[in-house]
Amino acid sequence: MAKITFLGAAGTVTGSKYLIEAGGKRLLVDCGLFQGSHDLTDRNWQTLPIEPASIDWVVLTHAHIDHTGYIPRLVKAGYRGPFYCNPSTHELCTILLLDSAHLQEEEAKFVQQKGYSQHKPALPLYTVAEAQTALNQFREIPRVECFQISPEFGVCPHDAGHILGSTWLELTITENGKKTLVVFSGDIGRYDQVILKDPEPPSRADYLLCESTYGDRDHPPGSPEDKLAEVINRVAKRGGSVVVPSFAVGRIQTLMYFLKELEDQKKIPMLPVYVDSPMAISVTDLYEKHKEDHDVDFSREEAAHIDPLNVANVHMTRSVEDSKKINDVVTPCIILSASGMATGGRVLHHLAKRLPDSRSAVLIVGFQAEGTLGRQIEDGSKMVKIFGEMVPVRAEVVDLPQLSAHAGRSELLRWLSGIKTAPKMTFLVHGEPAALESFRGAVDATYHWPVQVAGYQQTFEFNL
Ligand SMILES: [Zn+2]
């Protein structure tokens, strides 16, 4: 009997992992890391309820760590099969997984020195060498063409408009001569955004898994540019700096695009912009290479000798020394740095430095999961803990949800509108409990489909 087990992103936004079993074979869709509270991150250390060596194939929707960050751990635990993904996702994973491993190693070293580890000795979840080993198991599949993995499983990827290389998947399961079509939304992007294309809509699904990150709310209407300009002008006037915790993939490029436009239109002063993320620098190069994912016209811009993703006074900092030097900058500047939810990475140093300064501002531009430092700042905490020390939050905190990479509630409903025949079951995943429950009500009210919120480690049998 073909079935699905929800091994992550069920009742929460991170740890995406869906196990599909049919004809005695096992396929995993996404292999994400849990992020946020200790309860969630502890799951990364627990053994999976099934033997990793018994999984035959893994297919990835996109490169974000909450969809791929468990990969080295899966390999370490015995998985020897391929990780199928398109070329952009492969290249992004190479950057992101090595960085994730590096962060794990750094964090383990740091907590070991500080002596506040729960594990003794403090160990990384995986090392850079282990991430490298896992990357050797990646196999590229076409960006949009259908791909037959085995007699049991065929997959057709479609553009999800969320980040470079992001897809949603149509998985055709064949068992005993019967077929069923399962749609995995991955993460769905926004409509009418700059750089990336609109998400393609699905036209049919026997079963459907839909993300619900913003299932309970819509993003405010309008372009984020005006609000971005307002904040930058206000902060620059009072002599402060703007710190933006941002995902290296997508958000930083979108911010650069807007900053450049605002500079060109003379709506903001030409401030130094520090892109303090070696990953983001490498990722920006990939946009030029993978033109199939976006509508930025590099050829036109190149002809004019300008880079559409770079402002005039940009500083790309690769080395740790250069990163630390940004702490000495006392004149107004803009710092874009990862990680996006301030769960690690160089942005922690910048937050520790700038949060106590009432002239400065922190810009929240992406989803902040429960239990993350980013969420505490977004929720208005007056004191936060960084590197084991309490840091007062005196800087202004500005939410800019228009810059989100995720579809809002109406956009998710719009994405679903292409499906004319009700799926036998719609599972809502990748959301926090309130968003999932609210979106369940919305799907029910709009389409009258059978819909349920997927439970962690729940198994459901498909009716082929
Ligand atoms: Zn994502």
User: Given pLDDT bands bounded at 50, 70 and 90, which one contains residue 249?
Assistant: confident
Mean predicted confidence (pLDDT) in 231-245: 97
Name the band, by pLDDT with cuts 50, 70 and 90, for residue 248. Answer: confident
What is the 8-class DSSP label of residue 70? T
Question: Is the pLDDT higher at 322 or at 60?
Answer: 60
267-276, 323-332, 450-459 — which one is most confidently predicted on average? 450-459
Confidence (pLDDT) at 69: 97
pLDDT confidence of residue 308 = 60
The predicted-structure confidence for 114-149, as pLDDT tens digits, reads as follows: 766 566 678 899 999 999 999 999 999 999 899 999
CA–centroid distance, 13 to ligand 1, in Å, is 10
User: How far, in Å, is the centroid of ligand 1 from the Cα of 94?
Assistant: 16
- Strand, coil or helix: 286: helix
pLDDT for residue 176: 93
Res. 298: pLDDT tops 80: no
Nearest-angstrom CA–CA distance, 408 and 149: 33
Mean pLDDT of the chain: 92
- Between the CA of 358 and the centroid of ligand 1 the distance, in Å, is 32
Give the pLDDT confidence score for residue 38 in this predicted structure: 87
Average pLDDT of the segment spanning 312-340 = 90
Compute the distance between CA of residue 66 and CA of residue 463 in angstroms, rounded to an integer: 29
How far, in Å, from the CA of 405 to the mean position of ligand 1? 8
Give the pLDDT confidence score for residue 85 in this predicted structure: 98
The least confident of 5-19, 241-255, 365-379 is 241-255
Whole-model pTM: value is 0.89
Q: What is the pLDDT of residue 302?
A: 53
The encoded tokens of residue 148 equal 């037959």
| Nearest Cα residue to 235 out of 315, 310, 378, 331 | 331
Ligand 1: centre distance to CA 356 (Å): 31
Torsion region of 371: left, alpha or beta (phi above 0 gives left; psi -120 to 50 gives alpha): left
- Between 267-271, 399-403, 424-428, the lowest mean confidence (pLDDT) is in 399-403
pLDDT attached to residue 305: 47
Give the position of tokens 């996404």. Answer: 30
What pLDDT band is residue 257 in, cutting at 50, 70 and 90? confident
pLDDT at 300 over 60: no
Task: Kindly state the average pLDDT of the residues 421-449.
Answer: 98
CA of 399 to the centre of ligand 1 (A): 19
Query: Quick check: 147 and 125 in contact, CB under 8 A?
Result: no
d(Cα 328, Cα 352) in Å, to the nearest integer?
Answer: 13
CA of 206 to the centre of ligand 1 (A): 24
**Taking residues 182-201, what's their average pLDDT?**
93
Q: Out of 214-218, 219-223, 315-319, give the one with best mean pLDDT.
A: 214-218
For residue 202, is the peptide bond before it cis, meaning its omega torsion is within 30 degrees of 0? no
Model confidence band, residue 401 (pLDDT cutoffs 50, 70, 90): confident
Region 61-77: mean pLDDT is 97
CB atoms within 10 A of CB 150: 13
Region label for 425, one of left (φ > 0), alpha (ψ between -120 and 50) or beta (otherwise): beta
Determine the distance separating the centroid of ligand 1 and the alpha carbon of 43, expressed in angstroms. 19
Higher pLDDT: 110 or 7? It is 7
Element (DSSP H or E) covering residue 26: strand 25-29
Percent of the chain surpassing pLDDT 70: 95
